[in-house]
Amino acid sequence: MTRYFLHPGAVRFSTSTELVETILGSCVSITLRDPVSGLAAISHCVLPNAPAGVAEAERFRYCDTAIPAMLAEFAGRQVPASRIEVKLFGGAEVLPGVERPAVGPTVGALNSTRALAVLASFGFTPSAKRIAGAVGLDLIFDTANGDVWVRPLATSTPLAKEQHA
Protein backbone atom coordinates (compact mmCIF):
# COMPACT_ATOMS: atom_id res chain seq x y z
CA MET A 1 0.00 0.00 0.00
CA THR A 2 1.34 3.42 -0.97
CA ARG A 3 1.71 6.11 1.71
CA TYR A 4 1.53 9.78 0.83
CA PHE A 5 1.99 12.89 3.00
CA LEU A 6 -0.38 15.76 2.14
CA HIS A 7 1.12 19.21 2.68
CA PRO A 8 -0.87 22.33 3.65
CA GLY A 9 -2.66 23.87 0.68
CA ALA A 10 -2.57 20.63 -1.31
CA VAL A 11 -5.09 18.08 -2.56
CA ARG A 12 -4.72 14.41 -3.45
CA PHE A 13 -6.98 12.55 -5.87
CA SER A 14 -6.62 8.78 -6.10
CA THR A 15 -8.24 5.71 -7.60
CA SER A 16 -5.64 3.37 -6.12
CA THR A 17 -5.16 2.12 -2.58
CA GLU A 18 -3.26 4.75 -0.60
CA LEU A 19 -2.90 5.93 2.95
CA VAL A 20 -2.78 9.73 2.85
CA GLU A 21 -1.50 11.39 6.02
CA THR A 22 -1.61 15.01 7.06
CA ILE A 23 -1.21 17.06 10.22
CA LEU A 24 -3.97 19.52 11.08
CA GLY A 25 -4.10 22.41 13.51
CA SER A 26 -6.39 25.28 12.53
CA CYS A 27 -6.45 23.91 8.96
CA VAL A 28 -9.21 21.57 7.82
CA SER A 29 -9.24 18.47 5.65
CA ILE A 30 -12.21 17.46 3.57
CA THR A 31 -12.34 13.88 2.34
CA LEU A 32 -14.52 12.77 -0.58
CA ARG A 33 -14.98 9.20 -1.80
CA ASP A 34 -17.13 7.38 -4.32
CA PRO A 35 -17.43 3.72 -3.27
CA VAL A 36 -18.46 2.62 -6.78
CA SER A 37 -15.63 4.09 -8.90
CA GLY A 38 -13.08 4.12 -6.07
CA LEU A 39 -12.28 7.78 -6.69
CA ALA A 40 -11.13 9.45 -3.48
CA ALA A 41 -9.82 12.91 -2.60
CA ILE A 42 -8.50 14.76 0.41
CA SER A 43 -7.66 18.44 0.77
CA HIS A 44 -5.69 20.39 3.36
CA CYS A 45 -7.26 23.86 3.47
CA VAL A 46 -5.29 26.56 5.27
CA LEU A 47 -7.76 29.48 5.21
CA PRO A 48 -11.52 29.88 4.78
CA ASN A 49 -11.71 32.29 1.83
CA ALA A 50 -9.60 32.80 -1.26
CA PRO A 51 -8.55 36.30 -2.22
CA ALA A 52 -10.04 37.71 -5.40
CA GLY A 53 -8.25 36.39 -8.47
CA VAL A 54 -6.57 33.48 -6.69
CA ALA A 55 -4.36 31.47 -9.04
CA GLU A 56 -5.68 28.06 -10.05
CA ALA A 57 -2.61 26.42 -8.50
CA GLU A 58 -3.46 28.01 -5.13
CA ARG A 59 -7.19 27.21 -4.98
CA PHE A 60 -6.77 24.17 -2.71
CA ARG A 61 -5.42 26.37 0.09
CA TYR A 62 -8.90 27.84 0.66
CA CYS A 63 -12.13 26.14 1.76
CA ASP A 64 -14.33 28.21 -0.55
CA THR A 65 -12.40 27.25 -3.69
CA ALA A 66 -11.03 23.79 -2.80
CA ILE A 67 -14.41 22.16 -2.22
CA PRO A 68 -15.98 23.24 -5.55
CA ALA A 69 -12.79 22.21 -7.39
CA MET A 70 -12.83 18.79 -5.74
CA LEU A 71 -16.50 18.28 -6.53
CA ALA A 72 -15.91 19.40 -10.13
CA GLU A 73 -13.27 16.68 -10.50
CA PHE A 74 -15.79 14.07 -9.32
CA ALA A 75 -18.47 15.45 -11.66
CA GLY A 76 -15.97 15.43 -14.52
CA ARG A 77 -15.54 11.71 -13.94
CA GLN A 78 -19.33 11.20 -14.03
CA VAL A 79 -19.63 10.53 -10.29
CA PRO A 80 -23.15 11.51 -9.17
CA ALA A 81 -23.23 13.70 -6.07
CA SER A 82 -25.54 11.18 -4.38
CA ARG A 83 -22.67 8.65 -4.25
CA ILE A 84 -20.04 10.94 -2.71
CA GLU A 85 -19.14 10.27 0.93
CA VAL A 86 -17.95 13.45 2.68
CA LYS A 87 -16.01 13.83 5.94
CA LEU A 88 -14.49 16.90 7.66
CA PHE A 89 -11.66 17.22 10.19
CA GLY A 90 -9.51 19.87 11.90
CA GLY A 91 -10.22 23.50 12.67
CA ALA A 92 -8.66 23.43 16.13
CA GLU A 93 -7.71 26.43 18.22
CA VAL A 94 -4.12 25.36 18.57
CA LEU A 95 -2.56 28.59 19.79
CA PRO A 96 -4.88 30.02 22.44
CA GLY A 97 -3.96 33.57 23.31
CA VAL A 98 -1.92 34.00 20.13
CA GLU A 99 -4.21 32.92 17.29
CA ARG A 100 -7.44 34.06 18.98
CA PRO A 101 -8.39 37.55 17.87
CA ALA A 102 -9.61 40.07 20.43
CA VAL A 103 -13.07 39.88 18.86
CA GLY A 104 -14.46 37.14 16.68
CA PRO A 105 -13.71 33.52 15.92
CA THR A 106 -10.33 31.85 15.49
CA VAL A 107 -8.88 30.76 12.15
CA GLY A 108 -9.82 27.18 13.03
CA ALA A 109 -13.44 28.13 13.70
CA LEU A 110 -13.58 30.18 10.50
CA ASN A 111 -12.19 27.25 8.49
CA SER A 112 -14.67 24.76 9.95
CA THR A 113 -17.63 27.09 9.54
CA ARG A 114 -16.72 27.94 5.95
CA ALA A 115 -16.14 24.31 4.97
CA LEU A 116 -19.52 23.29 6.42
CA ALA A 117 -21.26 26.18 4.65
CA VAL A 118 -19.69 25.41 1.26
CA LEU A 119 -20.49 21.71 1.61
CA ALA A 120 -24.09 22.59 2.55
CA SER A 121 -24.39 24.87 -0.49
CA PHE A 122 -23.77 21.76 -2.62
CA GLY A 123 -26.22 19.69 -0.57
CA PHE A 124 -23.64 17.79 1.50
CA THR A 125 -23.53 17.08 5.22
CA PRO A 126 -20.40 15.28 6.44
CA SER A 127 -21.08 11.68 7.47
CA ALA A 128 -18.23 12.04 9.98
CA LYS A 129 -16.48 15.05 11.41
CA ARG A 130 -14.08 16.00 14.16
CA ILE A 131 -13.69 19.74 14.26
CA ALA A 132 -12.72 22.41 16.79
CA GLY A 133 -10.99 21.63 20.07
CA ALA A 134 -7.66 22.82 21.40
CA VAL A 135 -5.46 20.04 20.01
CA GLY A 136 -4.28 19.41 16.47
CA LEU A 137 -4.72 16.07 14.73
CA ASP A 138 -2.59 13.52 12.93
CA LEU A 139 -4.95 12.21 10.24
CA ILE A 140 -4.70 9.19 7.95
CA PHE A 141 -7.19 8.70 5.10
CA ASP A 142 -7.53 5.24 3.53
CA THR A 143 -8.55 5.87 -0.07
CA ALA A 144 -9.58 2.23 -0.57
CA ASN A 145 -12.50 2.31 1.87
CA GLY A 146 -12.85 5.94 2.98
CA ASP A 147 -11.84 5.23 6.57
CA VAL A 148 -10.21 8.11 8.43
CA TRP A 149 -8.10 7.65 11.53
CA VAL A 150 -7.26 10.60 13.75
CA ARG A 151 -4.91 10.86 16.67
CA PRO A 152 -4.67 13.97 18.81
CA LEU A 153 -1.26 15.58 18.75
CA ALA A 154 0.46 16.26 22.07
CA THR A 155 -1.85 18.16 24.35
CA SER A 156 -1.47 21.84 23.73
CA THR A 157 -0.92 24.09 26.67
CA PRO A 158 -1.82 27.77 26.44
CA LEU A 159 1.21 29.94 25.93
CA ALA A 160 2.17 31.96 28.95
CA LYS A 161 3.47 35.46 28.61
CA GLU A 162 7.17 35.70 29.39
CA GLN A 163 7.83 37.32 32.77
CA HIS A 164 10.68 39.80 33.01
CA ALA A 165 12.59 40.17 36.26
List pLDDT tens digits, range 94-129.
765 555 556 678 899 999 999 999 999 999 999 999
pLDDT at 158: 45
Each domain of the chain, given as residue ranges in start order, spans 2-152
- Nearest by Cα to 63 from 18, 11, 15, 98: 11
pLDDT tens for each residue of 13-70: 999 999 999 999 999 999 999 999 999 999 999 999 999 999 999 999 999 999 999 9
For the chain, what is the mean pLDDT? 90
Task: Using the predicted structure, report yes or no on whether residue 157 has a pLDDT greater than 60.
Answer: no
Class of domain 2-152: alpha beta
Task: Using the predicted structure, report yes or no on whether residue 143 has a pLDDT greater than 80.
Answer: yes
